Amino acid sequence: MSDMSFKQAKELVERMEFSEIALKKTLTSIESATNNFEKTLNEQENILNKLPNANKKLATMQLAVALNIGLIIGILIGKYLI
């Protein structure tokens, strides 16, 4: 270290400062990505919790559509065949 000139020491300090700035930016971006990932996981959990209820509603709607189609077919048969 004693052989190092002032210019070399100054360059070394500048590199260390640049490295520190880069590390701070990287840490900030990692924190942002972590927050976004946590939000995504929460949304995914909410969707998974709502799926059984949505499946129940979809089954009810399919039954209603089937009954309506059956009613229409019954009316048509009653009108034209009977």
Average pLDDT, the chain: 90
Question: Which pair of structure tokens corresponds to residue 43?
Answer: 């949304």
Q: Identify the residue whose tokens are 């929460």.
A: 42
- Asked which of 9-13, 23-27, 31-35 is least confident by mean pLDDT, the reply is 9-13
pLDDT for 2 = 59
Question: Which pair of structure tokens corresponds to residue 58?
Answer: 């979809």
For residues 16-35, average pLDDT: 94
In this predicted structure, the answer to whether residue 38 has a pLDDT above a threshold of 70 is yes
pLDDT for 66 = 95
Sign of CA dihedral 15, 17, 18, 24: positive
In this predicted structure, the answer to whether residue 70 has a pLDDT above a threshold of 90 is yes
Reported pTM: 0.54
